[in-house]
Amino acid sequence: MSEYPKPVRYGLWFFAELGVIAATIPGVLGTALAYNMVLDLPFWAGVLICAATVILLLGLQSYGVRKLEFMIAVFMLIMASCFFIELSHVNPPMNELIEGLFIPRLKGHYAISDAVALISALVVPHNLFLHSSLVSSRNLPSSSEAVKDASVFFLLENAFALFLALVINVAIVSLSGTICADNLSLDDTNTCSSLTLKSASVLFK
């Protein structure tokens, strides 16, 4: 970025940091909330565990970026497997699920706010910097042909990662939607109609 003037460089750095912080806060709070809901840990303890885990994972970089990538891939596969196992128990209507992927519809009182929340959760600006960092860590030959081939493989790699993230998010939404659409008690039905972070534990029943 040395070709840019200093004010532009600082401006880009500031907005990059702001985007990373904005995308990280929901992850930290969500992790702490999950610890609170599943393990009944205090909220502050969940935040500390999340921070310690991140520092531990970043420490793996000293042993090589590939080991860090491997650990993240393992965690992603574990998370995906858990959601798919749960999804097999609730049996969502696959025809409607596939149709909704290609022809989305907004129905219900909270449909627009839910859609905005999903977009803000899926559009993660820090991925741009993450993928750029991973690409720059590769040792590439200097020939133009090798760079061209590497660009194709990087594109396929990123496309696969984003597709896996899409599948996991579809599983999450389908799981909660199917549970709340199933035969529930009157109390659980009322809870699902106005689901909040405090009442989300109904999904674990």
**Span 157-183, pLDDT tens digits:** 777 877 877 788 788 777 777 766 655
pLDDT at 165: 77
- pLDDT, tens digit (0-9, with 9 covering 90-100), for 192-201: 665 555 555 5
pLDDT interval class at 129 (50, 70, 90): low
The answer to whether the pTM exceeds 0.75 is no
- pLDDT, tens digit (0-9, with 9 covering 90-100), for 48-75: 998 898 888 878 777 777 777 788 788 8
On the question of pLDDT at 123 being above 60, the answer is yes
pLDDT at 185: 59
- pLDDT, tens digit (0-9, with 9 covering 90-100), for 6-35: 888 888 888 878 877 877 887 888 888 888
pLDDT at 7: 84
- The residues, any chain, with a CB within 8 Å of residue 162's CB and separated by 6 or more, are 127
Mean pLDDT to the nearest integer, 135-139 = 65
pLDDT at 73: 80
Which amino acid, residue 34?
A: A
pLDDT at 48: 92
Looking at the chain, the whole-number percentage of residues with pLDDT higher than 70 is 70
On the question of pLDDT at 126 being above 80, the answer is no
